[in-house]
Amino acid sequence: MTLISNTTTRFWLKAATALVLAGIAYLLIDEMVDFPTYYLAGRSLLRGETDLYAPQFSGGILMDYRYPPFFVLVFSPIALLPYKVASYLWLLLSFIEIYLCWAVVRRALRLTSDAHAQPHKLATVALLVTLLTVAQYFVKAINFGNVHLLVVLLMFASLYFALQHRNLPAALLMSVAITFKLTPVILLPYFALKRRWKFLIYTSALLVLFNLFFPAAFFGFKGNLELLRTWHRHVVVDSEFHELNGPINLSLKGQLRRYFTEVRYEERLRDQNYKSINFAKLSTKQIDTWWAALSLIALALSLGIIWWTSSARRQGKEDETRPETTTNERNGETITRTLLELGLMICLMLFVGPSTSKLYFVALLWPVACLAYFAFQRSRIKTKLIRYSLLLIATINIIAPLLPGSSIQRMLLVIGVDFYITLILIIFHSYTLITLQRKSALIEAELPATQR
């Protein structure tokens, strides 16, 4: 009877939640920022227009189309619907994507089968800390209606399949994510470090397929190549207009520019009320050189930490010489390390990417969940410092969006609060991986010589 009662209760809770979200979606039909660009681009393509990067193709110079040709081909069918219907379906899809993002992360965490997990109460705390930390980013993503939410889901699902060494589905999802938004390409050096050559070969082949051959069936091979060249010039090379008029860039590049160059917010076409906080007036070219150099250093350091803490020789020696560990436990520890390594790489992606707007931080769900799971559930390692830091980050992300006044919210963006949160997460992911390695080394040192 109790089982039936619990099942019924869960069903009605889910039904009520679905109805509430359906109602919220209806209220937000006309509030999305980026979805109209996709819709107008799709309508233009259906009318036979192929100059994808002309302002009139989508929403004008401020809301221009900035994706490779493959994207508009995939999403143009939704433009066959009336705008309000298409917008409503897009919002419902966004809610489903949020649920699936969380479901994928939960499944990834369950792969650890952690034998040293703490009681259920601390698991609940880890869940709450994670949700409170990332909630504001998902709200922002819903408000914008940006495809980045789908990209994050594809990326998470790809990493989940990669954890299970299912290379083809992992590569398929990752290649689509990279085609839609270029930044997940920063994760690929990690797989090269791990010698996941089959995954990388599949991903490369599918990227060629999605970007060269599929669009060529519609635009022609030469036409598609010209569109790709125009996309590269418009989005990658000539990015200054969007850098100034787009969302505040919260990556390392944006931080360096706001601190060391004079950003002319008064020249923005919209929302000119941001305050300059620079304490130097260097050239953007000089700062961008700094950004490129520091990004390479950050990437090298992160990969170096991952390599040192997950060396195949050390891992194998540790596992074979610990008589108290079972095969499942050793596998769980390996997956825990891998989850944290991937969390570090996701944080690095946000940190060094050329453009990271606030809604991009929905990707922090993976690293925050993995770090919280480790910090609040591991019983063999001292994690008090990590716990307090996660609680502090969650508190900041609860309070910051509630501070009154648009001027305060603009100042928080210009200062780059989310940038520093990502930096803290990078530090603690690195610290955790190093701590795990030191713990393993201590256990090995304490073993009798005959067991080494």
Judged against a pLDDT cut of 90, whether residue 31 lies above it is answered with no
* Spatial separation of the C-alpha atoms in residues 30 and 276, rounded to whole Å: 32
Q: What is the mean pLDDT of residues 272-285?
A: 90
Domain count, the chain: 1
pLDDT band at residue 20, thresholds of 50, 70 and 90?
confident
Say what the pLDDT of residue 122 is.
59
- Residue 329: band (very low, low, confident or very high) from pLDDT cuts 50, 70, 90: low
Q: What amino acid is encoded at 424 in this protein?
A: I
Note the pLDDT of residue 26.
65
Over pLDDT 70: what percentage of the chain?
Answer: 87
Instruction: Check whether 392 has a pLDDT greater than 70.
Output: yes
Answer whether residue 313 shows pLDDT above 70. no
Q: What is the pLDDT of residue 123?
A: 73
What's the CA gap between 282 and 292, in Å, rounded? 16
Residue range 195-205: average pLDDT?
97
pLDDT confidence tier of residue 382, bands split at 50, 70 and 90:
low
CA 125 to CA 375: how far, in whole Å?
10
3-state SS of the chain is: CHHHHHHHHHHHHHHHHHHHHHHHHHHCCCCCCCHHHHHHHHHHHHCCCCCCCCHHHCCCCCCCCCCCHHHHHHHHHHHHCCHHHHHHHHHHHHHHHHHHHHHHHHHHHHCCCCCCECCHHHHHHHHHHHHHHHHHHHHHHHHHCCCHHHHHHHHHHHHHHHHCCCHHHHHHHHHHHHHHCCHHHHHHHHHHHCCCHHHHHHHHHHHHHHHHHHHHHHHCHHHHHHHHHHHHHHHHHCCHHHHHHCCCCCCHHHHHHHHHCCCCHHHCCCCCCCCCCCCCCCCHHHHHHHHHHHHHHHHHHHHHHHHHHCCHHHHHHHHHCCCCCCHHHHHHHHHHHHHHHHHHHHHHHHHHCCCCCHHHHHHHHHHHHHHHHHHHHECCCCCHHHHHHHHHHHHHHHHHHHCCCHHHHHHHHHHCHHHHHHHHHHHHHHHHHHHHHHHHHHHHHHCCHHHC
Q: How confident is the model at residue 321 (pLDDT cuts 50, 70, 90)?
A: very low
For 172-192, what is the mean pLDDT?
A: 96
For residue range 45-93, what is the model confidence (pLDDT) as tens digits?
Answer: 999 998 999 888 887 787 888 999 999 999 999 999 999 999 999 999 9
pLDDT at site 113: 66
Indicate whether 41 pLDDT > 50: yes
- Owning domain of residue 249: 85-451
If one compares 135 and 118, the residue with the highest pLDDT of the two is 135
Q: Does 57 reside within a domain?
A: no
Establish if 309 belongs to a structural domain: yes
Q: What is the mean pLDDT of the chain?
A: 86
| 418 falls within a domain | yes
Position 409 confidence tier, pLDDT thresholds 50, 70, 90: very high
- Confirm whether 397 is domain-assigned: yes
Q: What is the pLDDT of residue 318?
A: 45
Average pLDDT on 135-151 reads: 93
Q: pLDDT class for 440, splitting at 50, 70, 90?
A: low
Helix 83-110 with 120-144: angle, nearest 10 deg = 150
Average pLDDT over residues 374-400: 84
The yes-or-no verdict on residue 434 having pLDDT over 70 is yes
Residue 65 lies inside a defined structural domain of this protein: no
- Counting residues of the chain whose pLDDT is more than 90, the rounded percentage is 63
The answer to whether residue 364 scores a pLDDT higher than 90 is: yes
Query: Higher pLDDT residue, 330 or 139?
Result: 139
Instruction: State the Cα–Cα distance between residues 181 and 68, nearest whole angstrom.
Output: 9
Q: Is residue 176 part of a domain?
A: yes
46 lies in some domain: no
Is residue 287 a part of any domain in this protein?
yes
